[in-house]
Structures are given as C-alpha cells and as structure tokens.
Amino acid sequence: MDDETLMKLLRKNSDKNFVRRILNPEAFPFLEEDGKRMSHLMEYGEADGRYYVYPRIAYERGELHDYGDEAFDRAMRTGDFMSFDTEDDAAWFSRNYKNVWPKELR
C-alpha cells in the first residue's frame, strides 16, 4: 500500500466518523499524554476472516473517549471501522493513516 492508495481509501470511507477526523484533524480535539498528541490510537482486529481497522479513541457528543478494550466491540456496533482483506493491509493502514497530515500534526 502507498500514500495514494491511503487517500483513495479515506475518500471512499469519508462517511465514517474516524475518517472525517483523519481528513480534517484541525477541526477536532486531541488527547495529550506524556507530551504526545493522540486522536485515534488506531488498532486492528480479525473477525470471520476479515481484518478491521478502528479507532480506540472515538469522538462522540463533542468529546474524545478512549474505549480501551471495548473499542473493537464499539466499532463493530457503530460501523466506525474499515474492513481489509489481509492483516498486512490492516496493519499498514493502522500505522500510516496520519501520512495525510502535515508533519507537525503527526
């Protein structure tokens, strides 16, 4: 996967809450811990042979919430995830989604 493919995936999924936050990071808050800015903490998991990328941190009712171990279940329930055929693609996306941001926001 490359950055061009990343942008295509993001545009295709721009209806999802976490993708809107990726595409417009300056419009949303972030959490700060130990001097590090966090907005998504992207993770991935497997179910029924598919791989799902989802945010551990979700934006709801004007605030960010870290769902921790409940994040996968929340994402599956709300549809706030992206589906991939392979673990490699899911892992790549979860590590590189911020490539579309200016360097000072990464």
pLDDT for res 18 = 93
What is this structure's pTM? 0.86
pLDDT for res 16 = 95
Q: Which residue in 69, 94, 75 sits closest to 84, CA to CA?
A: 94
Cα–Cα distance measured from residue 45 to residue 47, given in angstroms and rounded to the nearest whole number:
7
CB 95 within 8 A of CB 60: no
pLDDT for res 34 = 85
pLDDT in tens, 85-101: 999 999 999 999 888 76
pLDDT in tens, 20-49: 999 988 889 988 888 888 889 999 999 999
pLDDT in tens, 49-76: 999 999 999 999 999 999 999 999 999 9
Domain residue ranges in the chain: 3-27+38-100
Residue 104 has pLDDT above 80, yes or no: no
pLDDT for res 101 = 63
